[in-house]
Amino acid sequence: MNSSFCIAVHALVYLNHMQKVLSSEELAQNVCTNPVLIRKVMSRLKKAGIVDTKGGNNGGYIFTADAETLTLERIAEAIDMQFVGSPWRSGDIDKECLISSGMGEIMQNICAQLDEHCRKSLRGITVADIDRKILKHEKEPKIDEKA
Amino acid sequence: MNSSFCIAVHALVYLNHMQKVLSSEELAQNVCTNPVLIRKVMSRLKKAGIVDTKGGNNGGYIFTADAETLTLERIAEAIDMQFVGSPWRSGDIDKECLISSGMGEIMQNICAQLDEHCRKSLRGITVADIDRKILKHEKEPKIDEKA
DNA sequence: CATTGTGTAACTGTTATAATTACAGCAGAG
DNA sequence: CTCTGCTGTAATTATAACAGTTACACAATG
């Protein structure tokens, strides 16, 4: 997993909490990264209709979603996040041996299943959950085990 | 996820199926990687009691576990595999802002939960399952949704 | 005791990733 | 209309992770 998902969730929690327009510069300061990375992630969230932009002076990003129903799954989908997967592939598809030629796909399918599992689990956490947890020191937003 | 898990599972499926001593060279050929990487992974599996080694001429690795009860979870544990996690940490723990200082840990906890979820899911797949699937073209070894 | 293989360490080449620089294009204020 | 400030994106650089490779000490077998 790369930083995009962390950046997206962090920025959205912050944007939602502040309830005002924030520039990529201001967001970058809070998330502790650079403005370009913020803009790359936010442009995807904009396309997904989760935030909107305001141009000109004092412009930036504004939270337009409903924090209570905005799940981490939807955020992951918006930025096309892959949680588990291996670019490396074992075996050789052209070998006669069924194991050598077949294990690559088997492992890929297992990764895909795990990835889907993660996505489903994230349906149980909303931006509002995190906001509450972080400000009222509630107990950890727990993933629904049956998701 | 790096290649270790794929290598471990592939090598074990092959070893179990062959039911004989195979050197790191022979395993590397089937998995399509180099012998040193195989040895690095196999030495962990040996410490976990899943395989054993035979020295000297015609030596190598031998499968000693029960394929029907050897789950992918146990393999993951043996090689200390992390499925989901981000080395990158958002925010700054020293900032006054609760969001900036708190989001790093929040996201780390979420990753840890997802990772644990993956591990639990892998309890539903055994080496024997994969062997059957790959040789008899059974349907994909499916992860137990309620795991 | 010679041969073969494991277990590691050290190094190299390659790829992925975050940070940075640069700039075109648009939105709003005056 | 024009100036300012911001987004969106491309291109580049620096750095860290990773797989592949070489090398060798140690162990076991015949």
Average pLDDT, stretch A10-34? 97
pTM for this entry: 0.91
Work out the average pLDDT over A51-62: 95
The protein residue nearest D20 (Cα–C1') is B34
Task: Tell the burial category of A55 from Cβ atoms under 10 Å away from its Cβ (0-12, 13-18, 19+).
Answer: exposed
- Main-chain dihedrals φ then ψ at residue B34, nearest 5 degrees: -105, 155
Q: What is the greatest pairwise CA distance in chain A?
A: 65
Contacts of A16 (CB under 8 A, 6+ apart): A63, A65, A67, A127, A128, A131
What confidence tens digit (pLDDT) does each residue in A72-96 have?
Answer: 999 999 999 999 999 999 999 999 9
Which segments in chain B show pLDDT lower than 50?
145-147
pLDDT at A147 > cutoff 50: no
Give, for A23, the enclosing helix (H) or strand (E).
none
Nearby residues of B144 by Cβ (< 8 Å), 6 or more positions away? B121, B123, B124
Confidence (pLDDT) at B78: 97
- Enumerate the residues of chain A whose CB falls inside 8 A of the CB of residue B63: none
Token reading at B8: 């471990």
Look over chain A and give the mean of its residue pLDDT values, rounded to a whole number: 93
pLDDT band at residue A136, thresholds of 50, 70 and 90? confident
* Helices assigned H by DSSP within A79-139: 98-121, 127-136
Q: What is the pLDDT of residue A146?
A: 42
Q: Are A68 and A83 in contact (CB under 8 A)?
A: no
The CA distance from A99 to the nearest CA of chain B, in Å, is 7
As a rounded value in angstroms, the CA-to-C1' distance for B143 and D10 is 42
User: How sure is the predictor about A138, in pLDDT bands with cuts at 50, 70 and 90?
Assistant: low
- In the predicted model, is pLDDT for residue A61 greater than 60? yes
By CB neighbour count within 10 A (0-12 exposed, 13-18 middle, 19+ buried), where does B89 fall? middle
pLDDT of B140: 55
Cα A123 from Cα A130, distance rounded (Å): 13
Q: Which residues pair with A60 in a beta bridge?
A: A54
Whether domain B4-136 has CATH 3.40.50.720: no
Q: Which of A33-42, A72-81, A135-144, B103-112 has the lowest mean pLDDT?
A: A135-144
**Domain layout of chain A by residue ranges:** 4-82+126-136
A140 pLDDT band, cuts 50/70/90, is low
User: Taking 50 as the threshold, does the pLDDT of residue A145 lie above it?
Assistant: no
Nearest nucleotide to B59 (CA to C1') is: C5
pLDDT of residue B136: 80
The upper half-sphere exposure of residue B144, i.e. CA atoms within 13 Å in the direction of its Cβ, equals: 15
Pick among B16, B29, B95, B107 to test the A interface (most A CBs inside 10 A): B107
The topology (CATH level 3) of A4-82+126-136 is Arc Repressor Mutant, subunit A (1.10.10)
pLDDT in the model for residue A31: 98
Q: What is the three-state SS of chain B?
A: CCCHHHHHHHHHHHHHHHCCCECHHHHHHHHCCCHHHHHHHHHHHHHCCCEEEECCCCCEEEECCCCCCCEHHHHHHHCCCCCCCCCCCCCCCCCCCHHHHHHHHHHHHHHHHHHHHHHHHHHHCEHHHHHHHHHHCCCCCCCCCCC
pLDDT of A141: 55
Encode pLDDT of B3-38 as tens digits: 999 999 999 999 999 999 999 999 999 999 999 999
